[in-house]
A and B are shown apart, each in its own frame.
Chain A
């Protein structure tokens, strides 16, 4: 927890240094871009691997790869060297969100048409519902970052600047990711005790964040829990790498086992969403001050 707090503070402070005129919003925007970059990387690698496994049977399967790559480039640039709002960025974020939503509908249709419909076996192994939802989150968070970076109080989707909305989106994103980890770790029968971590720590962070959003009062504990969640996302990759090693042939057989084992790019989604949560706290803090 204390490591998490320090990490969260560090992430927040990075932005304090580079504070622009509308300090808190610029800082939050940059944090959101950072979060969106991480989530977009996760979607990029995950959709590339999984849709490769699916042999790109439907041409639309390249869309999430293209949009997460675009989102990564634009959000990455905003994180490292903020250039402010742009029509291109806006279009990419909105399209990513739209493709994510369409993907969610398509994946749900794919599951529903299987023998047995929405029974567990299909939720476990068929087109995952959580994956396109993550692309939708990428688009939403990117849009929020872009809105916050625009000082001219634009007409388009102004409500996405609201601290409560940012906080709620981050919390919902975390909750959805917990649900996905919960489902897939249940599929793995929680055979390793570490598999309980993503279904216990992030829910606490999510609840704490939601409480702060409701009370408009960011608390140190929330910073700590979100920071720890961000760290967990990175550590999760190491656990998943170990999981890959436990498949037949281990890492020597990486071409099969990267697909058969636990997905390496999945856990960092937690990190990106936790950073988005920290951005919301930053906005809430400023709102309280203002």
Chain B
């Protein structure tokens, strides 16, 4: 039955007739303003961590806004099942080519196809960059500086933390003083306790992870029930995804959401300005006129859209005079160490990463590589765990069954590590086309020696932490990456970046990028909070520019 409904949802838009689903109420609806195909102030392509806050904050300033997403508009309370396989409907699994020395695994860890984007199935870890990581070139001697000062970013972090009711520790052990998190910490599951004990044994700080799931009821959203299905889509709405936070706010402010609307091309006029987008919805192509176009499709779909929008005047892709569209693709290292303990751990209970150490983000000494990393406790769900064992350790048959029988005693730590920008890592267009007839992206990625050194250090350190807590039979998982960034870098000049600090294209003044692609560097923390903070900043900057008549 669920599959049948899923099929229907996959092909029939829910937004329309003056209403959009209310994600917080079963079968509920929100009244929604609609603009038809009239020219709007902004059309935003993508409704994830970048597009959703931007849509809400632009609509609140009185702009007419349409935000489109290729994915469906779900109501988690009724559309999400406690089934890892079924919930794969949340990932972007359209055809793509991957190559390079270390081809990326695309899907769960780095994509989302739904209104709300990948925030619907993210692990909710909501961290601020270390201040120096906004200026790694001048402060730490690697990468490239952001065109934004960290203090400004920290103000926007605070705005997002409040909006998402982040639950976090009263005192955060690293970095400059920050305001108290809006909600208190969640109880730590056993996996988190192993991180804490290990960190204590190794003499470094740890803390409860700041996390975007409610520890108290807020509005119509229930507090977390520690069900543990976070990364396959929270069905209780405790998770503060863009779907249940920014999207309803955007709709209430007068934005229109178009679900199941795949944007294929940005149209430009003779003067080189964007005039709107061609999009595919309900089995037909349409054109939406807009005074401004914002690409917010994340670090693969955004450059793909810009490259697919090449025209006679800009044959190498829109906004690509620097040649940097698609280049400097960054991921984050997601290597892990695992071990077995006598006690029952059942690490999949509760949010997967309830304890964290940012020690190696804030400590530069003792490293034979550049960049920072953090590590967190882990709680893989059973199917994912079986896949990990089969893929990483080559276990199959009885060996896999035996190892799965030990799953409740498995404890693990996983890193989120900084990958440095490298022009050779990039998104280009393949010759093949997808179901919409659009050229599919080719994603090329290879580790540099720096990354290899970082992962060696991290895995050894995490293993040491596990062993300090009595774990035995420890082993490394070396093949995982997470998150994306960097394919439409922001910067201070048109030659070395695609957009300016506001996300505005140097080449096409009414084209903007608002997602993780603008990151000049990715730092050593999960990016969702930073993407949302940047989106809030972009919205404020657009308002300021409009007031000065500079739009």
Residues of A within 8 A of B (CB): 114-116, 120-121, 124-125, 186-189, 191, 243, 246-248, 256, 260
Q: Is B397 at the interface (CB under 8 A from chain A)?
A: no
Report which of A120, A191, A260 forms a contact with B225, defined as CB distance below 8 A: A260
Query: Do residues A116 and B217 form an inter-chain contact, with CB atoms below 8 A?
Result: no
Q: Are B200 and A115 in contact (CB under 8 A)?
A: yes
B170's contact among A116, A120, A247, A256, by CB below 8 Å, is which?
A120
Residues of A near B183 (CB, < 8 A) are 189, 191
Contacting pair B185 A121 (CB below 8 A): yes
Contacts of A243 in B (CB 8 A): 217
A124-B184, A186-B184 known; A116 vs B222 contact (CB < 8 Å)? no
Which residues in B have their C-beta under 8 angstroms from that of A260? 223, 225
Question: B200–A189 contact, CB under 8 A?
Answer: no
Assuming the contacts A116-B196, A248-B236, asked whether A191 and B217 have C-beta atoms less than 8 A apart, the reply is: yes
Q: 29 A–B contact pairs at CB < 8 A?
A: A115-B188, A115-B193, A116-B188, A116-B196, A120-B169, A120-B170, A121-B169, A121-B185, A121-B187, A124-B185, A125-B187, A186-B184, A187-B184, A187-B215, A188-B216, A189-B184, A189-B215, A191-B183, A191-B216, A191-B218, A246-B217, A246-B222, A246-B223, A247-B222, A247-B225, A248-B222, A248-B223, A256-B225, A260-B223
A121 / chain B contacts, CB cutoff of 8 Å: 169, 185, 187-188, 208
Q: Point out the residues of chain A lying under 8 angstroms from B185, CB to CB.
A: 120-121, 124
Q: Bound state CA distance, A129 and B521, in angstroms?
A: 47
Q: Which 4 A-B pairs have the closest CB atoms?
A: A115-B196, A246-B217, A125-B187, A115-B193
Give the A-B contact count at a CB cut-off of 8 A: 55
Bound-state CA distance A71–B157 (Å) is 53
Please, how many angstroms separate the alpha-carbon atoms of A116 and B200 in the complex?
Answer: 9
Q: How far is the CA of A187 from the CA of B187 in the complex (A)?
A: 10
Most A-side CB within 10 Å, residue of B187, B192, B208, B216: B216
Shortest A50–chain B CB gap in Å is 14
Chain B residues with Cβ under 8 A from A186's Cβ?
184
B355 to A, closest residue via Cβ:
A115
Inter-chain CA distance A55–B443, complex, in Å, is 52
CA distance A121 to B170 in the complex (A): 10
Residues of A within 8 A of B194 (CB): 115
A281 CB → nearest B CB, Å: 37
Kindly state the separation between the CA atoms of A124 and B185 in the bound complex, as whole angstroms: 9
In chain B, what residue has the closest Cβ to A190?
Answer: B216
Write the B106-124 contact mask toward A (1 if CB under 8 angstroms, else 0): 0000000000000000000
Give CA–CA (A114, B355) in the complex, Å: 14
CB neighbours (8 Å) of A188 from chain B are 184, 215-216
Residue of A nearest to B238 (CB): A248
Cβ proximity bits B207-241 to A, threshold 8 Å, 1 near / 0 not:
01000000111100011010000000000101000
In the assembled complex, the CB of B435 is this many whole angstroms from the nearest CB of chain A, namely: 37
Q: Does B339 contact A (CB under 8 A)?
A: no
The residues of A that contact B184 with a CB separation of less than 8 Å are 120, 124, 186-189
The smallest C-beta distance from B346 to any residue of chain A, in angstroms, reads 15
Supplied contacts A188-B184, A256-B225, 5 more A-B pairs, CB within 8 Å: A115-B197, A124-B184, A124-B185, A124-B187, A188-B216
Contacts of B187 in A (CB 8 A): 121, 124-125
Taking CB atoms, residues of chain A closer than 8 Å to B222 are 246-248
CB neighbours of A124 from chain B (8 A): 184-185, 187
B window 161-197: CB within 8 A of A: 169-170, 182-185, 187-188, 192-194, 196-197
